[in-house]
């Protein structure tokens, strides 16, 4: 009886081990092929370039299928009739798989049915950064050769979309160069200078809201701003709120409300982050280089709506006038400050808010007076408040509260904001 009990326990243990192995991604029993994950390297083994091409599909979004050399593509689950997204990661100081890869793969396959190829070059990207940089050209050649095999199978070059992150962005650009600019699209992250047909400068391309500002935060302080681009892209794929951007000469010009539409060069269509064809814009021809700007919220899903807000003084003043404006919805509060120069009647600014303007319940205004012991500011100001959602082209006008507002000094005054949804 004791031996029978032992045998039963061993059988149960074996079944549990088998189930845990399958759940951990060791083997995909349903698809019938082995699941391959990214390699793990260390500082001593991280200089040699060992590249893996892992295929993910809608039927197996969590199981990487290793594409072997020679006839590996023909014998894989690769579907030549679908578009192909090639993901290239960047520098890996500790030799580990990038934490964002799985999320990006799932977000893409959740959005559209395509082939997703994740390029694992962890071995060549680990250790000292200069050694990783030395591997960039050879890696780009390896990816280029892989793409050439796809083209030989009848895959269209225009159906190939490279998505490069950090140092992987440089690799992606080099691959595009090797193919003479004939690939369909290249999306790269994490650089401050304009290098593409459309360059998105999110929050000016520098400090990102929600990222720590002090070195005491450790690694997150170093990497948060840089890696925000990946999280924004994943969020844009997973959520319906559009991350719309606007062409402008500079970030400050954008914040000051001087770039309100997308007439030139996008023919009244504004570019959006994500997988939309041509970023969702209409163009007579591809621009050489267009800088576009947008703001985001501090946390996922990050997307915001942009509105122009204005305050028109009833009379000019001999000093600078500052007014704080806050939009309130059922669950959000978003603020901005308008500054009206002295001897001018109107000030304007862009306000980023997390719900559409028509869902804003009320607006609160506060006149921020500056009283010094030698000179008192006016106790109140009078003027009119106006707002409008972007894009604001010639066919749309500002919506203004139908009466003049009297704002006492340093006091919140709230008003309903009756703007109907389109």
Q: Which two tokens stand for residue 327?
A: 């939009």
200, part of any domain: yes
CB 261 within 8 A of CB 268: yes
- Domain final position from 275, 303, 331: 303
26, part of any domain: no
Same domain for 201 and 235? yes
Same domain for 169 and 259? no
Per-residue confidence (pLDDT) for residue 33, from 0 to 100: 66
Distance CA 66, CA 71 (A): 12
Per-residue confidence (pLDDT) for residue 60, from 0 to 100: 92
Q: Give how far Cα 224 sits from Cα of 210, 217, 218, Å.
A: 9, 10, 10
Same domain for 182 and 37? yes
Same domain for 223 and 208? yes
String of DSSP letters for 135-178: THHHHHHHHHHHHHHHHHTT--GGGEEEEEETHHHHHHHHHHHH
Same domain for 206 and 318? no
174, part of any domain: yes
β pairing state of 60-66 and 380-389: unpaired
Angle at 262 between CA 260 and CA 263, to 5 degrees: 110
Same domain for 48 and 181? yes
Per-residue confidence (pLDDT) for residue 195, from 0 to 100: 86
The total of other beta-carbon atoms located within 10 Å of residue 226's CB is 16
For the chain, the maximum distance between any two Cα atoms, rounded to a whole number of angstroms, is 100
- Domain final position from 244, 278, 303: 303
Same domain for 101 and 180? yes
Same domain for 62 and 107? yes
What's phi and psi for 202, nearest 5 deg? Answer: -80, 125
Distance CA 152, CA 75 (A): 15
Distance CA 328, CA 362 (A): 5
Same domain for 126 and 241? no
37, part of any domain: yes
Query: Of all helices (H) and strands (E), which one includes residue 227?
Result: helix 219-238
Same domain for 143 and 235? no
Per-residue confidence (pLDDT) for residue 44, from 0 to 100: 61
DSSP code for 412: -
CATH of the domain at 372: 2.60.60.20
249, part of any domain: yes
Instruction: Tell me the CA end-to-end span of the chain in Å, nearest whole number.
Output: 77
**Which residues of the chain fall below pLDDT 50?**
1-31
* pLDDT tens digits, 314-371: 999 988 999 999 999 998 999 999 999 999 999 999 999 999 998 999 999 999 988 7
Query: Of all helices (H) and strands (E), which one includes residue 337?
Result: strand 333-340
Per-residue confidence (pLDDT) for residue 240, from 0 to 100: 81
Per-residue confidence (pLDDT) for residue 325, from 0 to 100: 97
Q: Which two tokens stand for residue 339?
A: 């500054």
Domain that holds residue 408: 305-416
Same domain for 177 and 210? no
171, part of any domain: yes
Report how many domains make up the chain. Answer: 3
CATH of the domain at 54: 3.40.50.1820
Q: Which two tokens stand for residue 205?
A: 């391309």
**Token pair 């998105």 in the structure block, residue:** 200
Q: Residue ranges of the alpha helices (H) in 78-134? A: 101-111, 129-134
Same domain for 271 and 139? no
Alpha-carbon dihedral 155, 157, 163, 166, rounded to 10 degrees: 130
Per-residue confidence (pLDDT) for residue 220, from 0 to 100: 82
422, part of any domain: no
21, part of any domain: no
- Domain final position from 156, 189, 222: 189
Q: Chain-centre distance of CA 353, in angstroms?
A: 17
CB 345 within 8 A of CB 303: no
């Amino acid at each position: 009886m004791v031996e029978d009990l032992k045998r039963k326990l061993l059988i149960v243990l074996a079944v549990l081990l088998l189930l845990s192995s399958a759940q951990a991604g060791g083997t995909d029993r349903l698809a019938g092929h082995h699941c391959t994950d990214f390699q793990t390297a260390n500082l001593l083994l991280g200089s040699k370039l060992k590249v893996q091409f892992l295929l993910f599909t809608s039927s197996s979004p969590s199981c990487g299928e290793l594409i072997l050399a020679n006839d590996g593509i023909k014998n894989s689950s690769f579907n030549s009739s679908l578009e192909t997204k090639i993901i290239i990661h960047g520098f890996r100081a500790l030799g580990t798989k990038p934490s964002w890869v799985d999320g990006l793969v799932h977000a893409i396959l959740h959005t559209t049915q395509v082939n997703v190829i994740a390029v694992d070059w962890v071995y060549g990207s680990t250790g000292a950064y200069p050694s990783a940089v030395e591997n960039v050209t050879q890696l780009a050649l390896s990816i280029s050769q892989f793409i050439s095999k796809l083209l030989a199978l009848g895959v269209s070059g225009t159906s190939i979309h490279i998505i490069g992150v950090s140092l992987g962005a440089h690799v992606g650009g080099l691959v595009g160069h090797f193919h003479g600019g004939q690939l369909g699209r290249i999306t790269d992250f994490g650089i401050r200078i304009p290098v593409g047909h459309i360059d998105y400068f999110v929050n000016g391309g520098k400090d990102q809201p929600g990222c720590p500002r002090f070195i005491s935060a450790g690694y997150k302080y170093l990497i948060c701003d840089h890696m925000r681009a990946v999280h924004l892209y994943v969020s844009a794929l997973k959520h319906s709120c559009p991350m719309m951007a606007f062409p402008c000469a500079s970030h400050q010009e954008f914040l000051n409300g001087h770039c309100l539409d997308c007439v030139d060069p996008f023919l009244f269509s504004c570019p959006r982050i994500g997988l939309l064809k041509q970023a969702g814009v209409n163009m007579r021809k591809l621009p050489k280089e267009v800088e576009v700007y947008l703001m985001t919220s501090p946390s996922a899903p990050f997307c915001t709506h942009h509105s122009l807000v204005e305050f028109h003084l009833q009379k000019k003043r001999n000093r600078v006038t500052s007014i704080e404006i806050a939009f309130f919805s059922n669950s959000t509060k978003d603020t901005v400050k308008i500054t009206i120069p002295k001897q001018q009647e109107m000030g304007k600014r862009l306000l980023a808010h997390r719900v559409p303007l028509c869902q804003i319940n009320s607006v609160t205004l506060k006149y921020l007076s500056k009283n010094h012991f030698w000179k008192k500011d006016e106790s109140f100001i009078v003027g009119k408040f106006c707002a409008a959602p972007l894009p604001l082209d010639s066919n749309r006008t500002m919506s203004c509260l139908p009466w003049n507002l009297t704002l006492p000094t340093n006091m919140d005054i709230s008003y309903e904001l009756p703007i109907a949804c389109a």
